[in-house]
């Protein structure tokens, strides 16, 4: 391998590492947001079910 190809390969690895980290960080942020939305949705469903059961128990 020539010196030029080794330098180009090293630059490619550094570029892929930086892009990979930013993509990974973005995917983690998206995953956290989706998890929060899902947990909020499940909490609302639980509250609706709880109040439905409670009002049916009163009647």
Model confidence pLDDT, tens digit, residues 3-56: 888 888 888 888 888 888 888 889 999 999 999 999 999 999 999 998 888 778
Identify whether 27 is part of a domain: yes
Identify whether 4 is part of a domain: no
Q: Count the domains in the chain.
A: 1
Identify whether 35 is part of a domain: yes
Instruction: Look up the domain containing 54 and give its range.
Output: 20-58
pLDDT at 1 over 70: no
Give me the numbers of helices (H) and strands (E) for the chain, helices first please.
1, 0
pLDDT tier for residue 59 given thresholds of 50, 70 and 90:
low
Distances (CA, A) of 39 to 29, 49, 57: 15, 15, 27
Written as six digits, the tokens of 49 are 């079910």
Give backbone dihedrals phi and psi of 2, rounded to 5 degrees, phi first.
-85, 165
Identify whether 43 is part of a domain: yes
pLDDT score of 23: 85
pLDDT score of 46: 93
């Amino acid at each position: 391998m020539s010196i030029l190809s080794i330098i180009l390969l090293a630059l490619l690895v550094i570029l892929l590492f930086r892009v990979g980290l930013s993509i990974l960080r973005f995917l983690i942020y998206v995953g956290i947001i989706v998890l929060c939305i899902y947990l909020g949705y499940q909490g609302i469903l639980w509250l609706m079910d709880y109040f439905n059961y409670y009002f049916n128990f009163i009647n």
